[in-house]
Amino acid sequence: MSPDAPRIGLVEDDPIMGESLVQRLALEGIAVCWWQTGQEAASALPGAHVQAVVCDIRLPDLDGETLFRQVARTPDAPPFLFITGHADIDQAVRLMRSGAADYVTKPFEMADFLVRLGDLMRSRADEHAPALGTSAAMREVERLLRRVARIGSPVLITGETGTGKDVAARFLHAVSDNASKPFMAVNCAAIPADLMESELFGHERGAFTGAVQRHLGYAERAADGVLFLDEIAELRPDLQAKLLRVVENRIFHRLGGEQPLPFRGRLITASSADFPALVQAGRFRQDLYYRINVVTVRMPPLRERPEDVVWLMARFFAALTERMDSSLKGISALAQEAALAHAWPGNVRELHNRMERAVALGLGPWMMPGDLFPEAAGPVAGPGQQIGSLEDARADAEKRHILRALEATGGEVAAAAKLLGIGRTTLWEKMRRLDLGAD
């Protein structure tokens, strides 16, 4: 079976059923780690890297529930599909409430079992495909957002300007159960202060000069979805007080209206501000800060996660070349190296803007450092400074790119070659030429 085949764990003490499941799953292209006791599974699961666990509830030592509760405490625990007899259905239901993914009752139809297991594995695979970045920092952010997506508590997303707070808020909404509901985004810094209350809460006809008809605000249009307040620190004090009442009492009034209206949405806020300093200076209400800060998600700046730079470049390149119908073939290794050497003070927003300009204006066929950083064009060395040849620069860029591929694949040359889009022999030869220990 291919080393890339999906893998599950099977915890089943019945040798006949265990062997039958192993053989049937092999026909589906699924590798199986089979353990016949709970203790054996508990010891092996942390390093097994399985996408799901199929587990009998009744085992000779640990029961399935005890095993599940032990594994559930470990980071990145796989989902459990329980096999149960009719006498244990109540226990299976209790396990579902505790976080187990699904259960089937004996005797079960193999077709139904395979459908349920397939759904679990696809869900696991989707969850593990990076959506926000490949770095450990961003994978942790993504895991946190997926967890808080299941609850309705307010979320405050912090981070420097350009780190992707809006993207994180939209991702949180997209992976929630209310993904089909509205997502109303409000930039509190972009709306004039004298219009903010009307835009946020709406107004009745005649509420002020020029209010010729009723206007529904963002809070009302959010309905059962999300009200996202970006740069919330820019709200003036009187609106902070009104927002506090919305968070505490879940009601609001249109400007000029007397009828209280229910706020049914979820509140997500974001800011690059230093809230403790603002609270201490009296510029932001402490009680409101506590209310919106139930769960805090910090977006790390791009300089703290350089592993994401090339990944983001590839995503932006694909989207931009399709939108602009560009003839560019790809991003050169030199452009990648230049991007990795840049400090990115404007974070992801700066990277996107530079990529957009490079795709729009690049002469091709490959994106080069000058396309990304035209301000750096011109002499690169002053009198007396030594610079290497272009061939030296290319070799250095190639060497670093190969090292990143080897690091990403744990040193597996075959896997690194596949990742780089070259043959294994070609990679060996390049490693030998670049003195990367391929002898």
Mean pLDDT, residues 372-398 taken together: 63
Average pLDDT estimate for 372-379: 73
- Contacts with 51 (C-beta within 8 Å, 6 or more apart), sequence order: 6, 7, 8, 78, 120, 121, 124, 125
pLDDT category at 128 given cuts 50, 70, 90 is low
Q: How would you write 183-243 as a 3-class SS string?
A: EEEEECCCCCHHHHHHHHHCECCCCCCCCCCCECCHHHHCCCCEEEEECHHHCCHHHHHHH
Is the confidence at residue 2, as pLDDT, over 60? no
In the chain, ranges of CATH 1.10.8.60 domains: 303-376
| pLDDT surpasses 80 at 438 | no
What is the per-residue pLDDT for 406?
A: 81
Top-confidence residue, 397 or 151:
151
Tokens representing 19 are 């062997």
Does residue 36 sit in helix, strand or coil? coil
Among 43-57, 156-170, 176-190, the range scoring the smallest mean pLDDT is 43-57
Q: Is the pLDDT of residue 385 over 50?
A: no
Count Cα neighbours of 425 within 13 Å in the Cβ-side half-sphere: 0
Q: What is the pLDDT of the chain when averaged over all its residues?
A: 88
Question: Which of the given ranges, 47-61, 282-296, 420-434, has the highest pLDDT on average?
Answer: 282-296
Phi, psi of 44, deg, nearest 5: -90, -30
Residue intervals of the chain classified under CATH 1.10.10.60 are: 390-433
pLDDT at 369 over 50: yes
Judged against a pLDDT cut of 60, whether residue 410 lies above it is answered with yes
| Domain spanning 136-300, CATH class | alpha beta
Q: What is the DSSP letter of 255?
A: B
What confidence tier does 117 reach under pLDDT thresholds 50, 70, 90? Answer: very high
Among 10-19, 275-284, 385-394, the least confident range? 385-394
Q: What's the CATH code, domain 303-376?
A: 1.10.8.60
- Average pLDDT for 45-52: 87
pLDDT of residue 317: 94
426 has pLDDT over 70 = yes
- In the chain, ranges of CATH 3.40.50.300 domains: 136-300
Query: What's residue 380's pLDDT?
Result: 44
* Mean pLDDT to the nearest integer, 218-228: 96
**Of all residues in the chain, what percent are helix, strand and coil, respectively (each to 5)?**
50, 15, 35
Find the helix or strand (DSSP H, E) in which 339 lies. Answer: helix 333-341
Q: Tell whether the model's pLDDT for residue 379 goes beyond 50.
A: no
Using CA atoms, how far apart are residues 48 and 40, in angstroms rounded to an integer?
12
pLDDT for 30 beyond 70: yes
Is the domain 7-128 a CATH 3.30.565.10 member?
Answer: no
Mean pLDDT of 393-420: 78
Fold of 390-433: Arc Repressor Mutant, subunit A (1.10.10)
Q: Is 169 helix (H, G, I), strand (E, B) or coil?
A: helix
Are 304 and 160 spatial neighbours (Cβ–Cβ below 8 Å)? Answer: no
Which two structure tokens, joined as six digits, stand for 200?
Answer: 């946020």
- pLDDT greater than 90 at residue 199: yes
The confidence band for 382, taking pLDDT boundaries of 50, 70 and 90, is very low
pLDDT digits (tens, 9 = 90+) for 229-256: 999 999 999 999 999 999 999 999 999 9
pLDDT digits (tens, 9 = 90+) for 294-353: 999 999 999 999 999 999 999 999 999 989 988 898 999 889 999 999 999 999 999 999
Cα separation, 80 vs 97, whole angstroms: 12
pLDDT of residue 6: 87
Q: CATH 3.40.50.2300 residue ranges in the chain?
A: 7-128
